[in-house]
Amino acid sequence: MTGGYRAEPVTDPVVAAQAVALRRRVFVDGQGVPAGLEYDGLDEAAEHVVVRDAAGVVVATGRLLAEGGRARLGRICSAPEVRGTGAGAALLAGLERAALLRGLPRGVLHAQRSAAEFYARAGWTATGEPDVEAGIEHVWMTKDLLPGLREATDADADGLQRLIGACWSEYPNCILDVDAEEPWLRAPATAVAGYGGALWVVAPDGGPLVASVAVRPAAPGDRVTAELKSLYVGAPARRHGWGAALVGLARRWAADAGFVAVELWTDSRFADAHRLYERLGFTFTGGSRELHDLSGTTEFHATAPPLPGRAWRWPDPVPA
């Protein structure tokens, strides 16, 4: 929440219609942007975020699109009467969160030159020379939404072992014995690649690993269900939304690879993780299994679609 405002995803067509109307008011009527350019046919494929006032009226809106593994933010605007009140900052923060939940850890936007300072204050960096769109000077800007994220290598073996060991040590009788039970941690990138999967770590500023996530086919040759694995966020790095972002990254990988479902097995002791998965749309199926390992682990089973979907169509723009 910024300045008393809260950004939220658009979840129903009534709010969507208000967002469409606000964009027309700001861009088409206010700035003279041609309606054919403003309504470009991409809204249906986009994720939309709004900020509403105390009366529930949309006062700021924007969208994001997946573009080459990045989030392209756009159509960002706020009603003139709320500018300078924090509504725009709340909207931008909401779009960044939505991008991470969609598994898009890097952002790009084409900012009107007059708004470039606003984005710069939020950590966005101008790239290249200004250009002109719809008669308005613009500049491209980018931002790493999850700094320090990268694909893991086998050289991360020690760091992953320390991260996982520290997380497990928070729970009674949770024992990490690499050679006896988790030998994949000796060469983690090679092991995950051997399953046809992917493994990422987060190491801000090139420092120690603070988080990880992996995803792979649930069984050899399975092209229907992907399995989310090894989601760990070290205690000092929690409460930043990184766990949700890494789940989004794994789900994006599954969606792009053509899987139709994502499953996970989570230790029955990891209650905080269970709540996170439920917030992100996973459903616990009631399935469980005993691992008969040194930790006496029981795991619970949960599933979700690769990415959240929308059950209704984005409204067509209101004719001029």
- Tell me: the pLDDT tens digits for 156-176? 999 999 999 999 999 999 999
Q: Are residues 189 and 270 in the same domain?
A: yes
- Structural domain boundaries enclosing 160: 149-304
Q: Are residues 136 and 13 in the same domain?
A: yes
- Tell me: the pLDDT tens digits for 288-313? 999 999 999 999 999 999 998 888 99
Q: In the chain, pLDDT over 70 holds for what percent of residues? A: 98
Q: Are residues 138 and 171 in the same domain?
A: no
Question: What is the C-alpha end-to-end distance of the chain, expressed in Å?
Answer: 34
Domain count along the chain: 2
Q: What is the DSSP string of 50-62?
A: EEE-TTS-EEEEE
C-alpha–C-alpha distance, residues 22 and 60, integer Å: 8
Q: Are residues 199 and 293 in the same domain?
A: yes
Q: Of 124, 144, 164, at which residue does a domain stop?
A: 144
Is position 32 within any domain?
yes
Give the containing element (helix H, strand E) for 230: strand 225-233
Whether pLDDT at 3 is above 90: no
Is position 314 within any domain?
no
Separation in Å, CA 278 to CA 82, 137, 264, 303: 34, 44, 12, 10
Is position 318 within any domain?
no
Q: Are residues 190 and 216 in the same domain?
A: yes
Q: Are residues 290 and 184 in the same domain?
A: yes
Looking at residue 319, what is its pLDDT? 54
Q: Are residues 41 and 162 in the same domain?
A: no
Whether pLDDT at 59 is above 70: yes
Whether pLDDT at 7 is above 60: yes
- Tell me: the pLDDT tens digits for 235-256? 999 999 999 999 999 999 999 9
Whether pLDDT at 36 is above 70: yes
For the segment 91-117, the average pLDDT, to the nearest whole number, is 97
Q: Of 117, 144, 171, at which residue does a domain stop?
A: 144
Looking at residue 316, what is its pLDDT? 82
Whether pLDDT at 107 is above 70: yes
Residue 263, domain CATH: 3.40.630.30
Q: Are residues 229 and 273 in the same domain?
A: yes
Is position 313 within any domain?
no
Is position 316 within any domain?
no
Q: Are residues 73 and 138 in the same domain?
A: yes
Is position 67 within any domain?
yes
Q: Is-contact 86 3, C-beta < 8 A?
A: yes
User: Over the chain, what is the mean pLDDT?
Assistant: 95
Whether pLDDT at 2 is above 70: no
Weakest-pLDDT range from 37-46, 190-199, 297-306: 37-46
Q: Are residues 242 and 133 in the same domain?
A: no
